[in-house]
Amino acid sequence: MKKKVISICLLVILTIVSFGFIMNAQGVAGEGDWITQYKVEDPISGQLLLEANFKTGENRTVSSVFVGSEIKVTITLDLPVTSPDTILRLTTSLISPESRDSFWKLVTQEYQLWQYNPNEQTVQFYQVTGQLVLELYGKIPSSAVGNVAIPYTLVTLYGPTGETLDFIKVRVVTLEMAEYDNLLIQKEEKLQSLKTGGVALGYIELYENILDQSKVEASNGNVDGAIALLNALSVANEPVTSVSYMEVLFLPAVGILAALTVVFGLMFIRGRGKVGYMLQVLEDQIRDLEGLTLRASKIDRTISASLESVKDRLRDIVGV
């Protein structure tokens, strides 16, 4: 009886170990399971755009990856075990490059591929323990993104039954989205300097509110509106004071920017149906800001100048 129990236990243990080995050999879909590193470059200039090394955890982004651009992707795969009858497939979603006549270039010449055709979007190879390095050339299709920056899948590694083993995704943007990204970085750096420069808390709160609202607009695809919000932050002189009336004075300004966000949201989501009404509401609030500016001028000219600058920016955006 004891021998029978021991035999069953050993069988269970061997089953668990075998199952764990199979799972480790097959991998789970996700960046870094099979593809251990990659880098994306401009195929003409050789400029590095971004790179990632999943072994070391190091990631670096040098420049944006634009929709419609040609790129070169150097892919490194580390295959942990040999399965001589298993054929893996690496497929790209890029379209044919204009700068060359093929998608693929085999870097590790000693690695055996299966029915290799560099002009096809898919390259196949036997699962053999070792490292496989490939270069991929292609163009990101114009239909890859709309008005929102998205994680775009450059390549996908498939197993023998069509299961996804690994993939490479990069953030693809339009020129407008890249402009917003750069402007946002500048404004966030400016925000840190405001916090350390003794600027009024009310103004900092307004600044942060506009930054947050611009991110919402950008995530909804209203990039022009997001850029306009950030441009409204360019004032001549930020109020440097700590008196409490500053926060009271800037509360209406926060409301105005909230109304502005609603306007941009409606323009993007619903078209022009209710924009006229919302613009009228915003114009009324701009007039309220004029009165606020006048009262502020009797207290502090710096505050008045700042409010005047915000008001002018809003007028430019609305067109009144």
Written as six digits, the tokens of 243 are 């008196």
Amino acid at 194: L
Is 209 in the same domain as 120?
no
Please name the residue that has the structure tokens 């204009």: 98
Last residue of a domain, one of 173, 198, 217: 173
Task: Please give the Cα distance from 88 to 128 (Å, whole number).
Answer: 10
Strand positions, DSSP E, 35-192: 35-41, 48-53, 58-61, 65-66, 70-79, 83-92, 104-106, 113-114, 122-127, 130-139, 150-158, 164-173
Is 108 in the same domain as 144?
yes
Is 248 in the same domain as 191?
yes
Task: Please give the Cα distance from 36 to 57 (Å, whole number).
Answer: 10
Is 36 in the same domain as 167?
yes
Task: Please give the Cα distance from 252 to 34 (Å, whole number).
Answer: 55
- Residue 235's contacts (CB-CB under 8 Å, 6 or more residues apart) are 306, 309, 310, 313
Examine residue 17 and state whether it is found in any structural domain, yes or no: no
Angle between helices 275-297 and 301-318 (to 10 degrees): 160
- pLDDT by residue for the chain (320 residues), tens only, comes to 444 434 434 333 333 333 333 333 333 345 778 999 999 999 999 999 999 999 898 999 898 899 999 999 999 999 988 888 899 999 999 999 998 999 999 999 888 899 999 999 999 999 999 999 999 999 999 877 767 777 899 999 999 999 999 999 999 988 888 898 899 999 999 889 888 877 777 778 878 888 888 888 888 888 888 888 888 777 666 666 544 554 555 545 555 555 555 555 545 544 444 455 555 655 665 666 666 666 656 555 665 666 666 666 666 655 65
Please name the residue that has the structure tokens 């251990």: 36
The pLDDT value given to residue 19: 35
Is 193 in the same domain as 95?
no
Examine residue 91 and state whether it is found in any structural domain, yes or no: yes
Please name the residue that has the structure tokens 């764990």: 20
Helices (H), the chain: 2-26, 175-196, 201-219, 223-231, 245-269, 275-297, 301-318
The pLDDT value given to residue 71: 96
Last residue of a domain, one of 132, 157, 173: 173
Task: Please give the Cα distance from 188 to 190 (Å, whole number).
Answer: 5
pLDDT in tens, 176-209: 888 988 999 999 998 898 888 777 777 788 788 8
Is 139 in the same domain as 69?
yes
Is 156 in the same domain as 195?
no
Task: Please give the Cα distance from 158 to 122 (Å, whole number).
Answer: 10
Is 184 in the same domain as 195?
yes
The pLDDT value given to residue 231: 85
Task: Please give the Cα distance from 317 to 320 (Å, whole number).
Answer: 8
| Residue range(s) defining the domain that contains residue 32 | 27-173
Last residue of a domain, one of 155, 173, 191: 173
Q: What's the whole-model pTM score?
A: 0.64
The Cα-based distances of 150 to 29, 171, 258 in angstroms read 19, 6, 26
Question: What is the tally of structural domains in the chain?
Answer: 2
Is 43 in the same domain as 92?
yes
Amino acid at 41: E
Is 138 in the same domain as 255?
no
